[in-house]
Copies of this chain bind each other. A is one copy, B any other.
Amino acid sequence: MMETRPQASSGTTGKPVEVQVPASAPTPPAPLAGPGSMTRSKPETPLADILDGDARREVPIHEHGFVALLDVMPRLVPAGQTADAAIVQAARVSYGQGTKKINEDRGLIRYLLRHRHTTPFEMVEFKFHIAMPIFIARQWIRHRTANVNEYSGRYSVMPDKFYRPTLDQVRKQSAMNRQGGAERFGVASTNQEHGGTDVSPVSSSSPPRLPNADCPMPSSESLTAQAFIDYLRESEDLYKKYLDLTNKGVSREMARIGLPVSLYTQWYWKIDLHNLLHFLSLRMDPHAQEEIQWYARAMHDLVQPLVPITMEAWRDYATEGGAVGGVKLTRLEVEAMRAEIAALKGGRGEAGHDQAAAPASTLATDNKREQAEWEAKRKRLGF
């Protein structure tokens, strides 16, 4: 298809230069080889769609948001198996063949996850459709290992959808945690925005402080929460002007810039399982903004039935993020724990006299935050 033609030396001293150039435009490419050259193999076990023929599985988030699972690779797996099978398949290429009983597959996946053999988990891919406020999208997009196609406010008029929490979802700034806030304002239930139906998916596990039914007068806190809701309403009211301006010919890319970051956007988001687990560990963490935790949990729930062995291993072995049960001990903490265990053992050994005051282990640091972290882990470990 290509010709290689040395260029004639142009009569000067320089050496000739070879340039490869297509002799003509590519025709519809001839197949690499004859018709019989490709082998098609059928599966040993019948394949089944692990999404059961669904085109979309959607979890609603608050009023206007959602996470929808659209597709997964592998989509078709041997009947009776899950997408975990693709992880095992890839790992066996790396680590050699072996017997393939279900039980061993589970053991292999757990081993891989426990020991940071992450590449087999990259063989599973998910595609989601997500609607979320811009301030959440801005946190989300920091995960660089995904593919994204977002709705464009340059091409299209943004729909009139804004995230506005219910009155009892307004959160206080934590005095100690600079990052965010989890505590609610105390509000009277009659002030609820969305008519008593609590749409927050997280509310069952993080119940708002209950209003005092005996107190009909709005508290100071209630007033602040209401002021916040009013402020959001006011920002949303700008939508009418936005729409009017686009109708009068202002370019969409300019008109939108007065709209608040509570405006909903949406995108397609495609990511592999390894990177999804990393996303979940960061975004299901209680330090993440509560709203993005909702989305992370929805993704978790959508993915769980498709790779159940992996998700179980992740909860058993992962050590980071609020959904998992492992604990990381720093070198300093290991030292402190060794001292404390030695003291416990010593106390047991010297049976016969009371050791009421076993000294708390001390961390070799004067950093108060680090000490507090250690205290929290000590409780978690049962000291």
Contacts and interface: CB of A to CB of B under 8 A. Distances in A.
A249 to B, nearest CB: 5
B123 A147 contact: yes
A120 B270 CA distance: 11
A156 interface: yes
A167 interface: no
A29 to B, nearest CB: 6
Counting from the closest, the 5 A-B pairs by CB-CB distance are A325-B331, A181-B251, A18-B176, A338-B382, A122-B147
A91 to B, nearest CB: 7
A187 interface: no
A334 B55 CA distance: 41
B125 A270 contact: yes
Interface residues of A, number: 206
B57 A178 contact: no
Contacts of A372: 7, 16-19
Copies in the complex: 4
A6 interface: yes
A148 B176 contact: no
A197 to B, nearest CB: 13
Given A150-B93, A261-B261, A301-B31, A165 B39 contact: no
Contacts of A43: 53, 55
A1 interface: yes
A154 B289 contact: yes
A375 to B, nearest CB: 6
B334 A327 contact: yes
Given A20-B376, A73-B270, A261-B263, 10 more contacts: A15-B176, A21-B380, A25-B335, A26-B315, A93-B151, A94-B149, A96-B156, A154-B179, A180-B252, A339-B382
A237 B107 CA distance: 38
A257 B338 contact: no
A102 interface: no
A210 interface: no
Of A53, A148, A206, A258, most buried by chain B (CB within 10 Å of CB) is A258
19 contacts: A15-B176, A26-B323, A30-B205, A32-B300, A33-B59, A40-B56, A47-B49, A73-B125, A96-B156, A116-B282, A135-B257, A141-B141, A154-B289, A232-B258, A256-B261, A258-B260, A316-B331, A327-B328, A351-B355
A57 B73 contact: no
A177 B138 contact: no
A245 B224 contact: yes
A7 B378 CA distance: 13
A209 interface: no
Interface in A1-51: 1-2, 4-7, 10, 14-22, 25-26, 28-33, 37-44, 47, 49
B316 A332 contact: yes
A180 B20 CA distance: 12
A76 B73 contact: no
A94 B154 CA distance: 9
B224 A250 contact: yes
